[in-house]
Amino acid sequence: MTDILHRAIADDGKFFGLACDTTQLVNEACRKHDVGPTAAAALGRALTGSILLAALLKDGQYVQLKFEGSGPLGKIITEAGYDGWSRGYVAHPRADVPLKNGLIDVGTGLGKAGFLTVTKDIGGKRKYQGMTQLFTSEIGEDIAYYLLESEQTPSVVALSVHLEPDGTVRSAGGYLIQALPPIEENTLNNLEKQIKGLPQITELFNQGKSPAEILTILFKEIPHHQTANTKLVYQCSCSREKMENAVFSLGKNEIQDLLENQGGAEVYCEFCRDTYTFDKDDLEKMLAEDTQIH
């Protein structure tokens, strides 16, 4: 099954919903970063959450989520674009914590004390940033808390990752439902009660349900129609050219030091773990270019 995000909106325009299957891209992220079970669940939820928030933006825009907690996982950073790409990493991918009631304890892994920072890039060098304290450190609830506190938008966010015994991701995904003003508290409360009685989204995937069918379940009491969908992929935006620019930006003295003491330079991308090597000739070329500019 292809990773995909579906959208739906209530016929009266008072609610809209997003649901996505992120199984393949979460598997790819976990493989690239060689994560343990706790990091797999945390990174998978954070990636899925960033995809849902990116879907609220416009074409060409993207969002970054940065979870910084007091737990052994350290920080988690994920990014996603409106057109369906995503990437992310965990500072300590092999950190682990004991199970809690037989389940992976993401909250303890991330840590109860810390912050969620959301940065939206809307193009033209314009970025908007908001920050809230971590609410439960379970990722989904923290995103919903951010949306309420920073954007005054009541939202239901559910994120889930189901791991096989060998650590691979059997299923991953999530959904987001938002109420639009003027908000009808009674309808919102009824919707929240209904959602609490539903299985986790990964359990629905394991039963063969698609994101489109899950939206139909979520909105069963609300007349609605489904709109667009977007294919999703784990994709890093790093390139040799970007990394070369990063080395060049160090300046003449730093590049000269690398040349004399190391004979080259290696630049590592935290998001995809690719390494870019610049040898003696590359650094000498940068020094020559720096001299020409100045």
Place of tokens 């773990």: 273
CA–CA distance, 117 with 220 (Å, rounded to integer): 34
49 and 65 assigned to the same domain: yes
**Structural domains in the chain (count):** 2
Report, in angstroms and rounded to the nearest whole number, the Rg of the chain calculated over CA atoms.
21
Same domain, yes or no: 148 and 266: no
Q: The CATH number of the domain where 151 resides is what?
A: 3.55.30.10
Residue 115: other Cβ atoms inside 10 A: 15
Burial 174-191 (b: 16+ CB within 10 A, else e): bbbbbbeeeeeeebbeeb
Q: Where are the beta strands (DSSP E) in 94-196?
A: 114-121, 127-133, 155-163, 169-179
Q: Which pLDDT belongs to residue 1?
A: 62
Q: Is the pLDDT of residue 62 over 70?
A: yes
* Amino acid (one-letter) located at 149: E
Same domain, 79 and 102: yes
Strand partners, 159: 174
Calculate the dihedral angle through the C-alpha atoms of 155, 174, 209, 81, rounding to the nearest 10 degrees: 110
Q: What is the mean pLDDT of residues 176-183?
A: 85
- For 114, the domain range is 4-234
The enclosing H or E element of 5 equals strand 4-10
The enclosing domain of 246 has a CATH number of 3.90.1280.10
Angle between helix 252-261 and 240-248 (nearest 10): 100
Q: Which of 193, 211, 234 marks a domain boundary?
A: 234
pLDDT category at 294 given cuts 50, 70, 90 is very low
Confidence of residue 249 (pLDDT cuts 50, 70, 90): confident
| pLDDT for position 289 | 78
Q: What angle do CA 253, 259, 264 make, to 5 degrees?
A: 125
pLDDT interval class at 263 (50, 70, 90)? confident
* Same domain membership, residue 127 and residue 82: yes
- CA distances, 81 to each of 48, 168, 171, 282 (Å): 12, 25, 21, 32
Q: Which residue has the higher pLDDT, 138 or 280?
A: 138
CB atoms within 10 A of CB 131: 14
Residue 91 and residue 164 in one domain? yes
Select the more confidently predicted residue: 131 or 242. Answer: 131
Binned at pLDDT 50, 70 and 90, residue 20 comes out as very high
Of 79-83, 87-91, 217-221, give the lowest mean pLDDT range.
217-221
Mean confidence (pLDDT) of the chain: 91
Domain boundary among 184, 211, 234: 234
253 by Cβ neighbours in 10 Å (0-12 / 13-18 / 19+) ranks as exposed
For residue 19, pLDDT beyond 70: yes
User: Which pLDDT band, with edges at 50, 70 and 90, does 232 fall under?
Assistant: very high
SS3 call for 209: coil
Q: Are residues 53 and 143 in the same domain?
A: yes
When pLDDT is cut at 50, 70 and 90, the band that residue 277 belongs to is very high
Query: Are both 11 and 126 inside the same structural domain?
Result: yes
**Residue 248: pLDDT band by 50, 70, 90 thresholds?**
confident
Residues 177 and 287 occupy one common structural domain: no
Dihedral angle sign, alpha carbons of residues 129, 130, 134, 135: negative
72, 99: one domain: yes
Structure tokens given for 83 = 């057109």
180 confidence band (pLDDT: 50, 70, 90): confident
% of the chain with per-residue pLDDT over 70: 98
Query: For the chain, how many residues are written?
Result: 294
From 234, 261, 283, the end of a domain falls on 234
Least confident window among 12-16, 56-60, 90-94, 185-189: 185-189
Judge if 149 and 42 occupy the same domain: yes
Residues 42 and 168 in one domain: yes
Are 112 and 150 members of one domain?
yes
Selected residue with higher pLDDT from 123 and 100: 100
Strands 85-90 and 233-234, by their bridges, are parallel
Both structure tokens of 121 = 């890039």
Bridge partners (DSSP) of residue 80 are: 63, 86
- Where does the pLDDT of residue 293 fall: very low under 50, low under 70, confident under 90, or very high at 90 and above? very low
Q: How many CB atoms lie within 10 A of CB 96?
A: 17
**Which tokens is 3 given?**
């990773």
Q: State the pLDDT at residue 72.
A: 98
Residue range 94-122: mean pLDDT, rounded: 95
Specify the pLDDT at position 290: 62
